[in-house]
Amino acid sequence: MNKSELIDVAAAEADISKAAAGRALDAILDAVVKAVSKGDSVTLVGFGTFKASKRAARTGRNPQTGKEIKIAATTVPRFTAGAGFKAAVAGKKAAKKK
């Protein structure tokens, strides 16, 4: 599923126009990107968590020449799926907390 197909589904499910669904999706994605880029995490209960993660500097290898290269440290986005999402993908019912 691509972005336009997701917008079509959201518009049908929420009974709103495709333009409104597109603006809503863009606003949500922008908010997630801004929050994670500032170092905050975004948690959607049952779906998952978006957060920034530091990746240490390391030594890699150029596959064409076999020569070692240095790869600089960087910060990358991470997504961790929530229990409800994992259960849905596995085809199971989500476990309820007591």
What is the pLDDT at residue 58?
Answer: 96
Q: Distance between CA atoms of 52 and 38, rounded to whole angstroms?
A: 9
What is the pLDDT at residue 44?
Answer: 95
> To which CATH superfamily is domain 3-90 assigned?
IHF-like DNA-binding proteins (4.10.520.10)
Residues of the chain with confidence (pLDDT) below 50: none
Whole-structure pTM over 0.85, yes or no?
no
Q: What is the pLDDT of residues 34-55, one digit of tens each?
A: 999 999 999 999 999 999 999 9
What is the pLDDT at residue 92?
Answer: 79
Cα pseudo-dihedral 15, 18, 19, 21, rounded to 10? 60
